[in-house]
Amino acid sequence: MFESLQARPTDAIMALMQLAKADNSPKKIDLGVGVYKTDDGATPIMEAVKLATELNYKEEITKSYVSTIGNAAFRETMLELIFGADYTPLKEGRIASAQATGGSGALRLGAELIWSAGDQASVWVPTPTWANHSPLIGSVGPEIKQYPYYNKTTLGVDFDDMLACLEQEAKRGDVVVIHGCCHNPTGADLSKEEWDRLAPFLRDHGLVPFVDLAYFGLGHGLEADTYGLRLVGTTCPETIMAASCSKNFALYKERVGLVAAITNSKEQAELVQGQFGALQRRLTSMPPDHGAALVAKILGDEKLRKVWSDELDTMRGRMQALRQQLSDALRVQGAENIADAVINQNGMFSMLPLSVEQVTKLREDHSIYMMPSGRMNIAGANGENIPHLATAILDVL
Ligand SMILES: Cc1ncc(COP(=O)(O)O)c(C=O)c1O
């Protein structure tokens, strides 16, 4: 049986991680993998998570099964965190949700829900988008189509082209994947004004937003980063959302995520909730509980929540400071457009206007590692190596 299998190419990001690991140069800057890092290149466990782990260790009395839709306290506290306690659909019981195995599991459940509805909806993703969107969603069944998003010349969002494409080519009932904040791989986000135009556009064209909220809290803060999601959720009759706790709680390997669907009525929410349970049951039966239990503890305890949100502020502040330093260093050397982009973009990523050859040269000549697309994770830099980074970018350009 196994003889018929074809060899698969190594995942691009894993290959890059291995190359960076093998490089012992003191000048090395690893801007590859999408995890938050401190100045010394570590991805530590957050203090709030450590405190919650201690509490959980003392209080947990069983490892028995939980539920196909996961930990109830996790779902409740996460919904309140993402939407706010006063959010009308939440108060009216119109949001169905399920804990999922990371943001990826949440996207998968969202895709399964779309496909189960049987409307043959196509799913539109931005160009470019997170490399795993198309395989994760497309392998469930829906046809994946692409709308224009990032302009590699202006280094900003091609908003008018995005709307024009969806207006001309998307059919009613199609689903549009939108990054809620901190777009991966470009860092170029929709402005508040653009969300204000997008929400009624989607409603009027019968398109269903599917908001990927993998980095909320790491762009401009929890409120600002959920602005677009909250808006489409009250403007459009139906919205799907996939959130991850990998980055903002640094719980990567624990695999913590949440899928939610804002529906028209309480009855519909119950129906979708049942679907989520049944879909998860046939995929992996249940999501892992440990990480979700920690998040529920943190969000459910005022003191722990404060410790966590302060840490999140620090992470966000560090990345913004690095952006500022890199932008200043690039500006001094005359690269005005990249300097502007780096400071206007959000979260971990920016996509630099570099060719594959230039990215290779950065790696070979300067020990600087980033994705072949020019995506860099700013958290991989630090105050000391920013001048080297700026000079190297200018050198390969
Ligand atoms: C845009 C986007 N969505 C979803 C995910 C999935 O996150 P998780 O690691 O929680 O599965 C990622 C992870 O990098 C991402 O960048």
Helices (H) and strands (E) in the chain, counts: 16, 13
State pLDDT tens for residues 65-116: 999 999 999 999 999 999 999 999 999 999 999 999 999 999 999 999 999 9
Residues in the chain: 397
**Is the model's pLDDT at 119 over the cut of 80?**
no
Nearest to 284 by CA among 80, 104, 91, 41: 104
Same domain, 328 and 260: no
Side chain identity at residue 180, one-letter code: G
Overall average pLDDT of the 282-311 stretch: 98
The token duo for 275 is 């679907």
Same domain, 387 and 340: yes
Overall average pLDDT of the 311-321 stretch: 97
Among the listed residues 124, 130, 195, 308, the single catalytic one is 130
Expressed in angstroms and rounded, the spacing between residue 336 Cα and the centre of ligand 1 is 31
Residue nearest to atom 5 of ligand 1 (CA): 103
Same domain, 244 and 344: no
- Does 247 participate in catalysis according to the annotation? yes
- Does 30 participate in catalysis according to the annotation? no
CATH of the domain at 93: 3.40.640.10
**Is the model's pLDDT at 255 over the cut of 90?**
yes
Q: Which of 269, 300, 331 is the last residue of a domain?
A: 300
State pLDDT tens for residues 201-212: 999 999 999 999
The token duo for 211 is 């908001």
Q: What is the pLDDT, as a whole number, of residue 103?
A: 98
Q: What is the pLDDT, as a whole number, of residue 12?
A: 82
Dist. CA 97–CA 81, nearest whole Å: 14
Q: Please give the residue range of the domain that contains residue 198.
A: 65-300
Same domain, 288 and 308: no
Q: Which helix (H) or strand (E) holds 168?
A: helix 159-169
- Does 301 participate in catalysis according to the annotation? no
pTM over 0.85: yes
Expressed in angstroms and rounded, the spacing between residue 126 Cα and the centre of ligand 1 is 15
Same domain, 309 and 191: no
Q: Is the CB of 103 under 6 A from ligand 1?
A: yes
Same domain, 232 and 327: no
Expressed in angstroms and rounded, the spacing between residue 377 Cα and the centre of ligand 1 is 14
Q: What is the pLDDT, as a whole number, of residue 10?
A: 81
Dist. CA 258–CA 75, nearest whole Å: 7
Neighbour-count burial of 290, counting CB atoms closer than 10 A to its CB (0-12 exposed, 13-18 middle, 19+ buried): middle
Q: Please, which pLDDT band fits residue 49 given cuts at 50, 70 and 90?
A: very high
Q: Is the CB of 248 under 6 A from ligand 1?
A: no
Q: What is the pLDDT, as a whole number, of residue 14?
A: 86
- Would residue 50 count as lying in a domain? no
Q: How many domains does the chain have?
A: 2
Same domain, 71 and 33: no
Q: What is the pLDDT, as a whole number, of residue 15?
A: 87
Q: Where are the alpha helices (DSSP H) in 187-289?
A: 192-204, 222-225, 227-235, 266-283
Overall average pLDDT of the 295-318 stretch: 98
Expressed in angstroms and rounded, the spacing between residue 214 Cα and the centre of ligand 1 is 5
Q: What is the pLDDT, as a whole number, of residue 141?
A: 96
Same domain, 362 and 220: no
State pLDDT tens for residues 359-370: 999 999 999 999
Q: How many CB atoms lie within 10 A of CB 370?
A: 27
Q: Is the CB of 124 under 6 A from ligand 1?
A: no
